[in-house]
A and B are shown apart, each in its own frame.
Chain A
Amino acid sequence: MTTTNGAPPDAADLRKRVADLVAAHDPATTEQTEFLAARFDAGLAWVHFPPGAGGLGAPRALQTVVDAEFERLGSVPTHRDGLSIGLGMAAPTIVAFGTEQQRRRFLKPLYTGEEVWCQLFSEPGAGSDLAAVGTRAVRDGDSWVVDGQKVWTSMAHRARWAILLARTDPDVPKHRGLTYFVCDMTAPGVDVRPLRQLTGEAEFNEVYLDGVRLPDSLRLGEVGAGWKVAQTTLMNERVSIGGRPEPREGGLVGVVSELWRTRPELRTRGLHEELLKLWVAAEAARLTKERLRQQMAVGQPGPEGSAAKLSFAELNQRISGLELELLGTEGLAYDDWTFRRPEGQDPLRRGAGFHYLRTRGNSIEGGTSEILRTIIAERVLGLPAEPRVDKNVAWKDLPR
């Protein structure tokens, strides 16, 4: 799958491969799954993945070239709703730690969207302190028997597979007794229940695992190496910035700015001040993300990804608060408390009350803002770690 001289393909070579694929499978008439399958087979799914795993062993930075070229030639975007856990987290972990057989079984249907993935990491007792998970997996011959409860699992009700972090050895310190599995969501004993949130919707689920038998062939990485495998997953969760540039006033700030322009009767002096401060902050955040995108495009990813998540969360929360105040009387009303599963809707189209409530989650999901600040302080600025009481203590002896 490399060029004739054995070197990995370059940008020009990749453009030609995209053109050839589009010529053979017209995106306008080819069914989407079929088109994506062809793209996977051509090694143009993730160009930095190895041949056979949807890639060509090319530099990671060239993926943006391939995506842009596909878009230019009229193909569908690959990051479709509901697939982000599979594409962004499961796939890179399977490539890094999976066996040949696992790669062959999972990657292609994951990429085409035929199989949806979810992530069984968080638990009621292990959120930010993920290494504290208590869900047990006990060896029984060629299988593992899993018991426990997971929470905040988006897409579990549609998922065919899950990535699962479970405790296989309670007698060693918490980071060392974990093992990483692929969980079969159709296995007996998997019970998915909707978890209704403060918005009224159920985006997430609780997942109860009761005597779930998983064959050892679904283990990802060594027994006891689960924490290391999970780090790969989490790193990929935070790096997923790329794609196209965002326009000025994209997102919530655009919604509020438009409201300000079109509803002069709502304007007050104090809110004008606040709006301008947030407009400036939003533009700074947008340009920072654009700078990170440009860095990634030339193959120099920076640590600004965690900064982007932190500031995005704070900004969204402040802007949605301003939107509600600006609306006054209308801000006292809520658009819809109906219990439902919000799939594939643009949250910007919901009401101001929903924006305000949903954005409270932005500083909690995918790592709380507090944890991110600690990570920046220790890993980027090199400040000394906080003293810990859970090091070198067996997991079973930790206070819970």
Chain B
Amino acid sequence: MSESEPNLLYSDIEQELRAGVRELLAARCPWQSVLGRVENDAAEVTDLALWRELAAMGVAGLPIAEELGGAGATWRESSMVAEELGRAVAPVPFLGSAVLAASALTAVDADEEVRSLVSDLAEGRRTATLAVPLSTAPGSAFPALVRAGDRTLTGTVPGVVDALNADVLVVPAVGADGPGLHLVAAEETVRTPVVSLDLTRPLTEVRLAGAPAVAVASGDRAVGAVESALVAGAALLSAEQLGVAEWALRTTVDHLKERTQFGRPLGSFQALKHRLADLWVSISQARAVVRNAAGAVASGSPDAPLAAALAQAFVSGVAVTAAEEAVQMHGGIGFTWEHPVHLYLKRAKSASIALGTADRHRGRIAELVDLPPAP
């Protein structure tokens, strides 16, 4: 391993963890049950019982220190778990609670309230989320949708991920003395479900009308905490997108081996083979990019913002292509509600907008590596 490049491989421990998570998801979260849940009311899509089981395996607290109830591992292991959750389009509050909220909270000075919340998140006793529109990209201006008053918050935040079932909201807000980060009990807010494109990832509009809040960071610290949460979010979301893409490729390959037309398996037609080969090539590349981003975020490298932007600029497109190709190559069956491929298509396309589009991330890259636009 060179000093300058992160380790892009999976450790033996990660592979063991992967096997455990995959086994649990296969038993508890087959696509038939995911499809069943998305037909429920918005409030029942998220599988909190499954989330508690995953948390009991340590999945929710991987990058959190052991003294705070976490597993004392890193974002690398977390990223590997995200791959499996993507592969299963699991409807659990991983992104909101275990990534965005946990990352923001571990970046602030931990008082007793924050420590107890972080340890509850790690152990799955409570869930939280970062109250920003899910489309917010790293490198954006500090969110100013919420005004901070005297220990109260007022404002409306559209499209918040994993908020409907959350216990606590971590809310960026701007007050008289500038940016701040606050904790709000979710029950003190008005939460309206949004009909979301990704059925397995419910979004919520959160309205705060003088909601009681506890400030946990202010000024640069608050700005830094939100930014690091968005960077970690982008890196981890790319891992989930890799899992989605791998599922789409695997499922399509299996289908093309089985399905016969014109007297031969579809998979023997070169026009289809070459498209799948191209997909496999981009997925191999996505894997390297995802590992690179996870490694950079895990080590707190100064390259983390670039690695995360690269991951979203590259992997989100790979996942969307994989899911779109899967629908096409499944033919008519791929266009039906009964086949799970639409769950993956919706997850992939939504995720390509979440935390910034590829275009936004390329813009960030241009700033970070000094490739300025035309005058």
Chain A residues close to B by CB (< 8 Å): 244-245, 257, 260-261, 264, 267-269, 271-273, 275-277, 279-281, 283-285, 287-288, 290-291, 294-295, 297-298, 302, 304, 307, 310-311, 370, 372-374, 376-378, 380-387
Chain A CB within 10 Å — which of B274, B365, B370 has the most?
Answer: B274
B1 and chain A: residue at smallest CB distance: A294
Say how far A124's CB is from chain B's closest CB, in angstroms.
24
B288 at the interface (CB under 8 A from A): yes
Which residues of chain A are near B363, meaning CB under 8 Å?
Answer: 276
Does B194 touch A at the CB level, under 8 Å? no
A280-B5 contact, Cβ under 8 Å, with A261-B371, A376-B280, A377-B276: no
Query: Is the Cβ of B371 less than 8 Å from the Cβ of A291?
Result: no
Is B2's CB under 8 angstroms from A307's CB?
no
Is the Cβ of A281 less than 8 Å from the Cβ of B374? no
In chain B, positions 311-328 with a C-beta closer than 8 Å to chain A are 313-314
Once the chains are docked, how many angstroms separate the CA of A146 from the CA of B253?
45
Neighbouring B residues of A380 by C-beta, 8 Å: 277, 280
Contact, CB under 8 Å: B8 / A280: no
- Complex A-B, nearest 9 residue pairs according to Cβ-Cβ distance, in ascending order: A377-B273, A383-B267, A373-B277, A291-B8, A287-B288, A376-B277, A267-B374, A291-B288, A276-B362
| Interface residue ranges, B against A (CB under 8 Å) | 1-2, 4-5, 7-9, 249, 253, 256-257, 264-265, 267-270, 273-274, 276-278, 280-281, 284-289, 291-292, 310, 313-314, 362-363, 365-366, 369-375
Q: How far is the CA of A10 from the CA of B370 in the complex (A)?
A: 45
Q: Are A373 and B371 in contact (CB under 8 A)?
A: no
* A269 interface neighbour in B291, B369, B374, Cβ under 8 Å: B374
Q: Across the interface, do A381 and B280 meet the contact criterion of CB distance under 8 Å? A: yes
B125 CB, nearest partner CB in chain A, Å: 37
* Sample of 30 A–B contacts (CB below 8 Å): A257-B369, A276-B366, A276-B371, A280-B313, A280-B365, A281-B314, A283-B310, A284-B285, A284-B286, A284-B289, A287-B8, A287-B289, A290-B5, A290-B8, A294-B1, A294-B5, A294-B8, A302-B284, A372-B277, A373-B277, A376-B281, A378-B273, A380-B280, A381-B280, A383-B256, A383-B267, A384-B268, A386-B268, A386-B269, A387-B264
The answer to whether A285 and B273 touch (CB under 8 A), given A382-B253, A384-B268, is no
Number of contacts between A and B (CB, 8 Å)?
A: 137
Q: Which residues of A contact B265 (CB under 8 A)?
A: 383-384
Once A272-B374, A377-B274 are accepted as A-B contacts, the answer to whether A280 and B280 lie under 8 Å apart by CB is: no
Nearest CB on B from A388, distance (A) = 11
Contacts of B253 in A (CB 8 A): 381-383
Whether the pair A275, B371 counts as a contact (CB closer than 8 A) is yes
- Asked if B284 and A304 sit within 8 Å, CB to CB, the answer is yes
- Given A281-B314, A381-B277, A383-B265; 6 other pairs, CB 8 A cutoff: A245-B2, A273-B362, A284-B289, A287-B8, A298-B9, A384-B265
Chain B min CB distance to A106 (Å): 34
Q: Which residues on the B side are within 8 Å of A298 (C-beta)?
A: 9
Check B288–A284 contact: CB distance below 8 A: yes
Report B-chain residues with C-beta under 8 Å of the C-beta of A277.
Answer: 362
Known: A291-B9, A374-B277, A387-B268. A279 touches B369 (CB 8 A): yes
Residues on B with C-beta less than 8 A from A264 are 372, 375
Residues in A with CB closer than 8 Å to B288 are 284, 287-288, 290-291
Name the A residues within 8 Å of B268 (CB-CB): 383-387
**Cβ distance B180 to chain A, nearest Cβ, rounded Å:** 34
Instruction: Pick from B264, B370, B374: contact of A261, CB below 8 A.
Output: B370
B335 to chain A, nearest CB (A): 23
Q: List the A side residues contacting B5 at CB < 8 Å.
A: 245, 290, 294
* Whole-angstrom CA separation of A288 from B283 in the bound complex: 10
Tell me which residues across on chain B come within 8 A of A302, comparing CB atoms. Answer: 284
For residue A190, give the distance in angstroms from its CB to the closest CB of chain B.
Answer: 38
Contact between A386 and B286 (Cβ–Cβ < 8 Å)? Answer: no
A384 to chain B, nearest CB (A): 4
Q: How far is the CA of A306 from the CA of B289 in the complex (A)?
A: 18
Bound CA span A290–B295, Å: 14
Out of B2, B285, B374, name the residue touching A285 (CB < 8 Å): B285
List of A residues within 8 angstroms of B310 by Cβ: 280, 283-284
Whether A373 contacts B369 in the complex (CB less than 8 A), given A285-B285, A291-B287, A294-B8, comes out as no
Cβ-defined contact, B375 with A267, below 8 A: yes
Most B CB within 10 A of own CB, among A267, A372, A376 = A376
| CA of A277 to CA of B292, assembled, Å | 18
Residue of A nearest to B291 (CB): A291
Cβ contacts under 8 Å, B374 to chain A: 267-269, 271-272
| Nearest CB on B from A253, distance (A) | 11
Q: Which residue of A lies closest to B269 (CB)?
A: A386
CB pair A377–B371 under 8 Å, yes or no, is: no
CB proximity of A288 to chain B, nearest CB, Å: 4
A386 to B268 alpha-carbon distance, docked (Å)? 5
Cβ distance B303 to chain A, nearest Cβ, rounded Å: 9
Residues in B whose Cβ lies below 8 Å from that of A376: 277, 280-281
CA distance A386 to B274 in the complex (A): 12
Residue contact B292 to A383, C-beta cutoff 8 Å: no
Highest count of chain A CB atoms <10 Å: which of B7, B253, B285: B285
Contact between B285 and A279, CB atoms less than 8 A apart: no
In the bound complex, residues from chain B placing their C-beta under 8 Å from that of A273 are 362
What separation, in Å, do the CA atoms of A159 and B333 have in the docked complex? 58
| A256 closest partner in B (C-beta) | B371
Residue of A nearest to B311 (CB): A284
Complex Cα gap A294–B284 (Å): 14
Q: How far is the CA of A310 from the CA of B278 in the complex (A)?
A: 9
Task: Determine whether the beta carbon of B280 is less than 8 Å from that of A267.
Answer: no
Name the CB-closest residue of B to A277: B362
Docked-complex contact A272 and B280, CB < 8 angstroms: no
- What residues of chain A lie closer than 8 Å to B4, measured between beta carbons? 245
**Shortest distance from the beta carbon of A72 to any chain B beta carbon, whole Å:** 13
Count chain B CB atoms within 10 A of each CB in A272, A275, A280, A302 and give the residue with the most.
Answer: A280
User: Do A307 and B273 have beta carbons less than 8 Å apart?
Assistant: no
Chain A residues, CB < 8 A from B370? 261
Q: Nearest residue in B to A386 (C-beta to C-beta)?
A: B268
A262 CB → nearest B CB, Å: 11
Min CB distance A32 to B, Å, is 27
Roughly how many angstroms separate A55 CA and B134 CA in the complex, as a whole number? 57
Q: Chain B contacts of A261 at CB under 8 A?
A: 370-372
Is there contact, CB below 8 Å, between B285 and A311?
yes
**A296 CB to nearest chain B CB (Å):** 11
> With A and B bound together, what is the CA distance between A241 and B232 in angstroms?
32
User: How far is the CB of A24 from the nearest CB of chain B, in Å?
Assistant: 29
Q: Report how far A353 CA is from B161 CA in the complex, Å.
A: 50
User: Chain B nearest CB: distance from A63 CB in Å?
Assistant: 16
A280-B314 contact given A267-B375, A287-B8, A383-B268, CB 8 Å threshold: yes
Please, which residue of chain B has its CB at the minimum distance from the CB of A378? B273
Residues of A within 8 A of B289 (CB): 283-284, 287-288
Shortest C-beta distance, B260 to chain A (Å), equals 10
Q: Is the CB of B7 within 8 A of A294?
A: yes
Is B314 a contact partner of A279 (Cβ separation < 8 A)?
Answer: no
